[in-house]
């Protein structure tokens, strides 16, 4: 996550992207900064992909933990206040 936060202060690099003409025209009419909007969308896409990959890589551990809780109950459950 730190790399995503630092992106605002990172050096910028030109990139070519293809966008639907109608979307680009509307964004310009609404005075949306295309570069900022694209960067924000890319930051979100990177974060979502990282989360998806983490879930895939840790699926076995998650399933094992869930199975343990189903069989044994929550550890320290007797101390819960709710």
Q: Where are the domains of the chain?
A: 21-72
Q: For residue 82, what pLDDT is reported?
A: 77
CA dihedral of 73, 75, 79, 82, whole degrees rounded to 10:
-50
pTM: 0.70
Q: For residue 21, what pLDDT is reported?
A: 97
Predicted confidence (pLDDT) at residue 8 exceeds the cutoff of 90 = no
Provide the token pair at 77.
């459950």
Instruction: Output the CA torsion sign for 34, 51, 2, 14.
Output: negative
Q: For residue 81, what pLDDT is reported?
A: 82
Q: For residue 66, what pLDDT is reported?
A: 95
Q: For residue 79, what pLDDT is reported?
A: 84
Q: For residue 77, what pLDDT is reported?
A: 82
Chain segment 26-78, per-residue pLDDT in tens = 999 999 999 999 999 999 999 999 999 999 999 999 999 999 999 988 888 88
Do 34 and 27 touch, CB atoms closer than 8 A?
yes
């Amino acid at each position: 996550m730190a790399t995503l936060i630092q992106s605002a202060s990172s050096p910028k690099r030109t990139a070519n992207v293809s966008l639907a003409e109608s979307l680009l025209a509307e964004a310009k009419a609404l005075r949306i900064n295309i570069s900022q909007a694209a960067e924000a969308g890319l930051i979100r896409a990177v974060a979502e992909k990282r989360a998806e990959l983490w879930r895939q890589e840790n699926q076995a551990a998650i399933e094992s933990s869930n199975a343990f809780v189903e069989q044994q109950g929550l550890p320290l459950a007797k101390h819960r206040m709710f």
